[in-house]
Structure 1
Amino acid sequence: MTQASRFAGGLLSVAAGAALAFAATRSLRTPRSAPVTARHIAAARAFNGGSALLALSVLSDSAMEHYRGGFENPAMYAALASAAAALGASLHGGADRSETSHALRHAIQLAAAATGLAGTTFHFYNVGKRPGGWSWHNLFYGAPVGAPFALLLSGGFGAIAEQLRDEPAHDPRLFGMPAGKALALVSAAGLIGTAAEAALLHFRGAFQHPAMYAPVTVAPVGAALLAQAALAAPPRARRWRGFAYLWLRFVSVLGFAGAGFHANGVARAQGGWRNWSQNLLAGPPLPAPPSFSALAVAGLAALRMRETEQ
């Protein structure tokens, strides 16, 4: 692949990422002059959208990784089933404009969160039991410790979207604090964790492409701005929200564009897409980068809620 074609592929990835990010934040474009209830439901639907993106990422990633592992443990099927169910529930919730929660959707999302927690525990155990225990080699090539956490976040965001519908629109609360503040902090923590996972895998890849530095630098800045916007006192909160809005939109573009860069990475491997059955499993994971977009969408929804709280 020539330098010109790589550059063109990068531009195409960014353009496609921008278009997908615009579509993913569609439910948040409720006018600020709209009634508080309408903005409240729009935020809940945005969390459904973030949950759906994470569920799709987990479903695709776990399908490839567990297939590569030969589904050695029957529990590997649980991640696929749970992620598929969470994806369906989230898509249904994203289209639902009602002001009340859906019991079945809520149960599915809680089950997905529990499955993600169990998977995270199992992956930690898998790394620790390998010869050498907790070493860089086992972190690089053992079960990815951060992957099941995405399912936990997906189920958590989906469950939160359902709970928000039952909260009073004028004063929604979660974890004993204003909902927008709590959700902004959760989204910021998710961005930090996802960036750490990307840093580990990109370090394994020796940061051979300059774009590999983007997720490990852009996402943590977005997390810091989001946390500051959530915690800032009212006189300064509006300015910080403005910074966070702009940066999180950049992060949402970055996540979708990252999938394009990973697709280019697969194309550069021996045999390219003609050898897709091998290169998809051995190359950079296509489903991983959109997790950043999902968390950015959740962060944007939390900021919209924070506006009504202040």
Structure 2
Amino acid sequence: MTQASRFAGGLASLAAGAALAFVATRSLREARSAPAIGKHVAAARAFNHGSALLALSVLADSAMEHYRGGFENRAMYAALASAAAALGASLHGSADRTEASHALRHAIQLGATATGTAGTAFHLYNVGKRPGGWSWHNLFYGAPAGAPFALLLSGALGAIAEQLRDEPEHDPRLFGLPAGKALALVASAGLLGTAAEAALLHFRGSYQHPAMYAPVTVAPIGAALLAHAALAAPTQARRLGGFARLWLRLTSALGFAGAGFHANGVARAQGGWRNWSQNLLAGPPLPAPPAFSALALAGLAALRMRETER
């Protein structure tokens, strides 16, 4: 493949990412402009959107990775079941305009959080017990901690959305903090964790394509802007809100564009998409990059709430 064709493929991926990000953020703008619901319900629905996108990413990623592992451990099925349930609960919550939480949805999301926590611990244990213990080689090729961590984040976003619905509209609070501040801190931490996973895997790939630097630079800056909005006075958050929103929208587009770049990576492998059954498993993971989009969407909702707080 020539340099020109690679550049053209990159441009096409960026264009597709921008289009998909526009579609994904449209529902957030509709929720913000809807007069029939309070700001806390609009933010809850936005967190449901992010939770659904993360759950879909985890469902596809864990299905491929655990299939590659032959479902050697029966617990591997738990990730698929939990991600599928969290996806359904999040989609149901994103369409729910009521102010009361839903007990079944809340239980499913808490279950996804617990499953993600256990999966992360199990994957880290798997890395440590391999010959050589904790080494770069085992971190690169052992059980990836990123997928169960994404399930943990999906469940956490969904559970927070349910808790937020039960808060009073005039002064919603979470974890003893103003809701916008708490939501921004959660989204910021999620972006940092996802960027760390991308940094590890792209380091394994020797950053052979310049675009591989994007998620480890753009996402941490977005996380820093969110953390600043959370910790600064609301007046400062409002003053810098325009730049932060622009950067988070860029992060959202980055997630979808990353899926396009990964699809291009699969196409460049021996046999391309004609040999999809092998190249999808061996190539760059298609479902992973949209996790950035999911957390950026949640960050946008948190930023809007933070700017209205006194």
TM range (shorter): over 0.9
Task: Indicate the residue corresponding to 1:14 in structure 2.
Answer: 14
1:25 shift after superposition: 1.7
**What CA deviation, in whole Å up to 9, does each residue of 1:161-203 have, x standing for no partner?**
1111111111111111011101101111111111110000000
Closer, same or farther: CA 6–309 of 1 in aligned 2, 3 Å: same
CA distance in 2, matches of 1:297, 1:4: 33
- In the other structure, the counterpart of 1:249 is 249
Corresponding position of 2:298: 298
Q: Does 1:174 align with 2:167?
A: no
Q: Show structure 1 runs of 5+ residues with no match.
A: none
Q: Report if the CA contact (8 A) 1:226-1:241 is conserved.
A: no
Alpha-carbon contact 2:235-2:307 (below 8 Å) kept? no
Partner of 2:137: 137
Cross-structure match for 2:43:
43
* Distance verdict in 2 for CA 1:166–1:140, change over 3 Å: same
* Shift, 1:231, TM fit: 1.1
1:285 aligns with 2:285: yes
Following the alignment from structure 1 to structure 2, what is the Cα–Cα distance between the partners of residues 239 and 4? 42
Correspondence list, 1:1-310, <5 A: 1-30=1-30, 37-310=37-310
> Is the CA contact 1:27–1:42 (under 8 Å) kept in the aligned structure 2?
no
Task: Verify the 8 A CA contact 1:36 1:169 in the aligned structure 2.
Answer: no
In structure 2, the CA distance between the partners of 1:36 and 1:246, relative to structure 1 (3 Å rule), is farther
1:10, CA displacement in angstroms?
1.4
CA-based RMSD of the aligned residues comes to 1.5
TM-score (normalizing by structure 1): 0.97
Deviation string, structure 1 residues 18-66 (Cα, Å, up to 9, x no partner): 1211122223215878659433222111100000010000000000000
TM-score, normalised via structure 2 length: 0.97
- In 2, Cα distance between equivalents of 1:228 and 1:308: 15
Q: For 2:31 and 2:186, how far apart are their aligned partners in 1?
A: 25
Give the distance between the partners of 2:290 and 2:7, measured in 1 at CA: 21
CA contact (8 A) 1:30 1:39 kept: no
The percent identity for this pair of structures is: 86
| 3-state SS in 2 of match to 1:25 | helix
Whether contact under 8 Å (2:234, 2:306) holds in the other structure is no
* Aligned equivalents of 2:24, 2:175: Cα separation in 1: 27
Given that 1:188 and 1:224 are in contact with CA atoms closer than 8 Å, whether structure 2 keeps it comes out as yes
The offset of 1:239, in angstroms, is 2.1
